[in-house]
Amino acid sequence: MEIAVKNEKLKNWVKEVEQMCTPDKVYWCDGSKKEYNELMSQMEKSGMAIKLKKRRNSFLFRSDPSDVARVENRTYISTRSQIEAGPTNNWVAPDELKTTMKSLYKGCMKGRTMYVIPFSMGPIQSPIAKIGIEITDSPYVVCNMHIMTRVGKKVIRKLGKKGEFIPCLHSIGAPLAEGQQDVSWPCAPIEKKYISHFPAENLIWSYGSGYGGNALLGKKCLALRIASAMAKREGWMAEHMLILRLTSPAGKQFHIAAAFPSACGKTNLAMLQPTIEGWKCECVGDDISWMKIGPDGRLYAINPEAGFFGVAPGTSYDSNPMAMDTIKKNVIFTNCALTDKGDIWWEGMDGKPPKHAIDWKGRDWPTENKEVAAHANARFTAPASQCPVICPDWEKPEGVPIDIFVFGGRRAGVVPLVNEAYSFDHGVFLGATASSETTAANIGAVGNLRRDPFAMQPFCGYNMGDYFQHWLDMGDKLQDKAPRIFYVNWFRKTPDGRWLWPGFGENSRVLKWMCERIEDKAQAVKTPIGLLPTDDGLDMKGLNIEAQDIKALLNVDIEAWRAEIPDIEKHFAQFGDLCSH
Ligand code: GTP
Ligand code: SPV
Ligand code: MN
């Protein structure tokens, strides 16, 4: 990079890391197209990237089969005392963890280039934005960061001499000995992977994985785990939330921020195509929301990211046409299948499956034992600006004012399609007790029911009990300007396993009810769990759905809810006296 770096702290840190990791070369990223193209063609030559014949400037990567998702059991919140990390986080004391990791980092970039990536989370001129510097030995990470964040000289310029940044150190943990042949997806074995956070120093150290949130450190590590701890200290919010703008036929705008656990429908809802007449939806963000109280006392949200790292399987013109149109060009695909024509494919894509493809492990597909062609956590990395329904205000420095919070999860039973909290504090209870079946976004069992409070269980950078308190405090500050809170479940099933609700674009019917509620235009039924739509409360015009299904979707089964209580009590009991204040 030609621009001179004047920030001494940054120069010193880069030097220190260079001495510890001993790369062959150090390269400062400028964020240019040229840089992206050069790295891609380098990776194409080395066999790591496959250029797709059928999609302009798009590439397919196949990860090592051991490195396909986040690793919650190798993720650490290293606060001074364990109480500060709380019962839901893995904890090792900072000194001990640093000693362990330093011995791994020692010489770990041998035979590789060390890339320095200056990036901004949030539009550079936004008062809510933060600067990070990621050091990595993965060119795949550099290219993904180009799409997911704002990278380059403009960040160095903003940083100036004395500016603050969040140091994010990443290594795939696979040094190359003299003459050693590289593999196409180098990484370290699971027991050597560490995704570590030191909130007191705003510091991130990641080792051993090249995949997603483990490696693109601006995302979960900075924008959620470190940012949530900063937000608690400074009185703002960093949440695992999509942001969308809904415009009514009368032209009134509503801004909604919704928290669902990983792979539970944020990208889909963020790009929703309403099926009800006259309503319009625009996407501001699909995964993370940073929110501050504005001068008018309302809560304003920005999307700190610049791209989407979306779940590929299940994405189709039927389920999410706007995502399909977003990924026509300039996309990085990871762990998707490759068709004979030179395009990608995954389970749930429109039309018939190809007769033959190369699966995510690089084998001929179909395989003998009928495995899936794309990994369940296969992802696309695409620029947000390519989304046809990106909101014209998605990069507005001050953000958009939030009217509605939505929580939810994936529950086959018990939880109704929608209910509204009686108050902000009741909404905090709904968020705090949110539950969902686990998905392939984390390495581990899929389909296990667990509490995932505010969809932040894997992402809260401090004691979850203190985080609940922070939510209550924000409610007190916002008072009557606080967003109204709703809870949804798109994933209800019949006993024989059929979806009760069509979901996707039809979810607009539920959002419309929320808007009518806050405008005082819709009645609600009081139930022990919250306020539900009346029998004719949801707009069902043009939707072919059996009356008994609607009844089931809006049913509050008192006995089933009573049966939840012991688990809710157990959930809260784990915080008990542990809270750190
Ligand atoms: P992360 O990026 O992991 O944080 O996930 P996300 O919340 O953005 O997940 P995404 O929107 O990509 O959802 C992934 C899965 O949820 C896919 O299998 C979708 O088909 C499914 N899904 C999304 N919305 C709906 C819905 O309304 N109904 C049903 N039945 N499935 C849905
Ligand atoms: C999630 O798991 O919630 C994601 C994907 O958004 S990752 O960036 O890998 O965490
Ligand atoms: Mn996510």
Query: 421 and 342: one domain?
Result: no
Query: 26 and 84: one domain?
Result: yes
CATH of the domain at 370: 2.170.8.10
pLDDT for the residue 268 = 98
Query: 259 and 403: one domain?
Result: yes
* d(CA 454, ligand 3 centre) in Å: 12
Mean pLDDT of each 10-residue bin along the chain, 581 residues long = 89 98 98 98 97 98 98 98 96 98 98 98 96 98 98 96 98 97 97 98 98 98 98 98 98 98 97 97 98 98 98 98 98 98 98 97 96 98 98 98 98 97 98 96 93 98 98 98 98 95 98 98 98 96 94 97 96 78 53
Query: 348 and 470: one domain?
Result: no
What's the one-letter identity of residue 152?
Answer: G
What separation in angstroms does the CA of 425 have from each of 360, 469, 475, 487? 45, 10, 7, 13
**Domain assignment present for 48:** no
Query: 418 and 451: one domain?
Result: yes
Task: Look at residues 354, 386, 418 and tell me which one is the last residue of a structural domain.
Answer: 386
**Domain assignment present for 430:** yes
Give 69-87 as a DSSP string: SB-GGGEEE--SSHHHH-T
Helix pair 227-234, 464-478: axis angle to 10 deg: 50
Residues 374 and 312: beta-carbon distance below 8 Å = yes
CATH of the domain at 543: 3.90.228.20
pLDDT for the residue 61 = 98
Domain that holds residue 430: 239-303+394-576
* d(CA 562, ligand 1 centre) in Å: 28
CB atoms within 10 A of CB 374: 26
Query: 566 and 547: one domain?
Result: yes
Gap between the Cα atoms of 348 and 334, Å rounded: 16
Find tokens 């189709």 and name the residue.
316
**Domain assignment present for 40:** no
How many domains are contained in the chain? 3
* d(CA 220, ligand 3 centre) in Å: 8
Pocket of ligand 2 (CB under 6 A): 70, 212-213, 219-220, 262, 287, 309, 441
**Domain assignment present for 55:** no
pLDDT for the residue 581 = 53
Query: 197 and 141: one domain?
Result: yes
Query: 112 and 225: one domain?
Result: yes
pLDDT for the residue 498 = 95
Residue 530's SS3 state is: strand
Q: Give the ligand with the smallest distance to the CA of 335.
A: 2
* d(CA 192, ligand 3 centre) in Å: 24
Q: Give the ligand with the smallest distance to the CA of 210.
A: 2
Query: 432 and 559: one domain?
Result: yes
Instruction: Give strand pairing partners of 364.
Output: 358
Residues catalogued as catalytic: 264
Query: 448 and 488: one domain?
Result: yes
Burial zone of 566 (CB within 10 Å; 0-12 exposed, 13-18 middle, 19+ buried):
exposed
Q: Give the ligand with the smallest distance to the CA of 216.
A: 2
pLDDT for the residue 3 = 77
CB atoms within 10 A of CB 70: 24
Pocket test for ligand 2, best of 147, 170, 262 (most atoms within 8 A of CB): 262
**Domain assignment present for 330:** yes
**Domain assignment present for 504:** yes
Burial zone of 119 (CB within 10 Å; 0-12 exposed, 13-18 middle, 19+ buried):
buried
Task: Look at residues 234, 260, 284 and tell me which one is the last residue of a structural domain.
Answer: 234
Extract the tokens encoding 483: 């967003």
Q: Of ligand 2's atoms, which has the minimum distance to the CA of residue 262?
A: 3
pLDDT for the residue 580 = 56
pLDDT for the residue 349 = 98
CATH of the domain at 128: 3.40.449.10
Task: Look at residues 234, 259, 292 and tell me which one is the last residue of a structural domain.
Answer: 234
Ligand 2: which residue has its CA nearest to atom 10?
Answer: 213
**Domain assignment present for 427:** yes
pTM higher than 0.85: yes
**Domain assignment present for 36:** no
Query: 181 and 260: one domain?
Result: no
Query: 134 and 227: one domain?
Result: yes
